[in-house]
Amino acid sequence: CNEPRFHKLKGLFLRKNQLKTLPNTIGNLKELEWLKVCNNQLIILPKEIGKLRNLKMLDLRYNKLSSLPKEIGKLLLLEWLVINNNKLAILPEEIGKLVNLRTLNLPHNKLESLPKEIGKLPLLEWLDLEDNQLKTIPYTIADLPKLERLNLKNNKLESLELKNPNPTPSEV
């Protein structure tokens, strides 16, 4: 039998285990739409996560992730990304490719900055950045046309720059 195992699996719920990583074969679950791996011990997310092209929801809360693979940007159908209570210090610029993302929850991490590409999320409605180390936010956040809720509570913000500091002639 050449059919991959779990070839029809739509949801995988691995909450409250002791997983330190996911197998590279996670990318073989081509039909997966929901992946919940919250409350584990994940320290790394395999780049094969980018092969889950049907994924709509990714829940990585309460792990030990310090970064995300750039392949996260290949999850074009992703609508809900929750990564609170990790150790994220940086987001890849590829986060801006998640054109269907509606909710991005990143509270209780160690983010010091955000990529300007975060302003390229046309459907983003809810952005939660509470309790990070942000000193500034990119002016591109103001470009999010659907943004309804923005939580910046308990950061290290020194200023709010919501316009391009170096505008092109068409932006003036």
Could you give the CA distance from residue 150 to residue 141 in angstroms, rounded to a whole number? 9
Helix (H, G, I), strand (E, B) or coil at 73: helix
Which residue's structure tokens are 């998640």? 98
* Reported pTM: 0.91
pLDDT in tens, 10-33: 999 999 999 999 999 999 999 999
Is there a contact between 52 and 26 (Cβ–Cβ < 8 Å)? yes
SS3 77: coil
Average pLDDT over residues 137-165: 90
Instruction: With a cut of 70, say whether residue 3 has pLDDT above it.
Output: no
In angstroms, the CA 57 to CA 60 distance is: 10
Q: What is the pLDDT of residues 51-69, one digit of tens each?
A: 999 999 999 999 999 999 9
Helix (H, G, I), strand (E, B) or coil at 126: strand
pLDDT > 50? residue 1: no
**Residue pLDDT, tens place only, 84-117:** 999 999 999 999 999 999 999 999 999 999 999 9
